[in-house]
């Protein structure tokens, strides 16, 4: 069974600084998808970024980028120029290429200090 591990329960960053959230996963599949979802205090789950395992190029969405290391099964999220609105719980998630259900990590709470 696939598992997703987020080893940092909580992280803090100063406004305008850069922070990296870690995620590792375990799978025997060669083709799959990885996601980062953001859950602010409103509890809404918001898709931040997605990465296809067959693509070597790391995905980027504005201030959000990933460092995808397939051999190491690592998928970290880098937030640049952190803003107060980035404060949220961040979930790493995995899905097989043919599958449907998302497998989530336990989440990392990100606090942004002004």
Partner 1 sequence: DSGVTQTPKHLITATGQRVTLRCSPRSGDLSVYWYQQSLDQGLQFLIQYYNGEERAKGNILERFSAQQFPDLHSELNLSSLELGDSALYFCASSPLASGASDTQYFGPGTRLTVL
Contact positions vs partner 1 (CB under 8 A): 33, 35, 37, 42-47, 50, 52, 91, 97-107
Q: How far is the CB of 104 from partner 1 (least distance, A)?
A: 4
Task: Please say which residue, 32 or 79, places its beta carbon nearer to partner 1.
Answer: 32
Task: Please say which residue, 16 or 47, places its beta carbon nearer to partner 1.
Answer: 47
Task: Please say which residue, 87 or 94, places its beta carbon nearer to partner 1.
Answer: 94
CA distances from 6 to 63, 84, 91 (A): 21, 22, 8
Task: Please say which residue, 13 or 34, places its beta carbon nearer to partner 1.
Answer: 34
Helix (H) or strand (E) holding 96: strand 88-96
Q: Residues 7-34, buried b or exposed e (16+ Cβ, 10 A)?
A: ebeebebeeeeebebbbbbebeeeebbb
């Amino acid at each position: 069974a696939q598992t997703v591990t987020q080893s940092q329960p909580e992280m803090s960053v100063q406004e305008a600084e850069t922070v990296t959230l870690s995620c590792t996963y375990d799978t025997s599949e060669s083709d799959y998808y990885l996601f980062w979802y953001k859950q602010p205090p409103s509890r809404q789950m918001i898709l931040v970024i997605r990465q296809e395992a067959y693509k070597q190029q790391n995905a980027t969405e504005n201030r959000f980028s990933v460092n995808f290391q397939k051999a190491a099964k690592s998928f970290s999220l880098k937030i640049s120029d952190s803003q107060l609105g980035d404060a949220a719980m961040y979930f790493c998630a995995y899905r097989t290429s043919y599958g449907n259900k998302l497998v989530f990590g336990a989440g990392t709470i990100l606090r942004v200090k002004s």
